[in-house]
Amino acid sequence: MTTKLVIGLDGHGSGDRALAYAKRMAKLIGDCELLIVYVIEWSPYSFQTAEENAVRHKRREQEISTATERVINPAVSALSAESINARGVVRHGDVADTLNAICLEEGADQLIVSRSSEGGFAKRLFGSSTANLVMSASVPVTVVG
């Protein structure tokens, strides 16, 4: 049975540390898949006109494309070059809720994130989001320093 690890990236050095830890774990485990995830903070609730919602939807699609190109693809390519089974996904939403939902959808065995003062994902995560993620996650959470 393949072990599945979900790694939350933030586009900064702190995410690189989470990725490095996950890579070490994958090599130790052997039969392992890494799912690299980037979450763009996004609230689905908005009271706008139809035209404003159309622009908002287009912006969402552009953000997904940019995050995939700049964060996900380089990480997956680097892992694949080392013969590590990896794929990526970008989603909009609340960081903790979205990471947990992905873990459930994918049948993940563990979630790996990092902490940092660099901002981005780690800054959003450490605070109430971290507490929520660690306390409500459906899988074990590893927080890399």
Residue type, 82: E
- Count of CB atoms within 10 A of residue 54's CB? 11
Which strand (E) or helix (H) includes residue 99?
helix 95-106
Contacts 24+ apart (CB under 8 A), 124-132: 124/41, 124/95, 125/8, 125/10, 125/95, 125/96, 129/94, 129/95, 129/96, 130/96, 132/96, 132/97
Per-residue pLDDT of the chain (145 residues; tens, 9 = 90+): 799 999 998 877 778 899 999 999 999 999 999 999 999 987 666 667 777 777 887 888 999 999 999 999 999 999 999 999 999 999 998 888 999 999 999 999 999 998 755 455 544 544 556 667 788 899 999 988 7
The verdict on pTM exceeding 0.95 is: no
Query: Using CA atoms, how far apart are residues 36 and 139, in angstroms rounded to an integer?
Result: 16
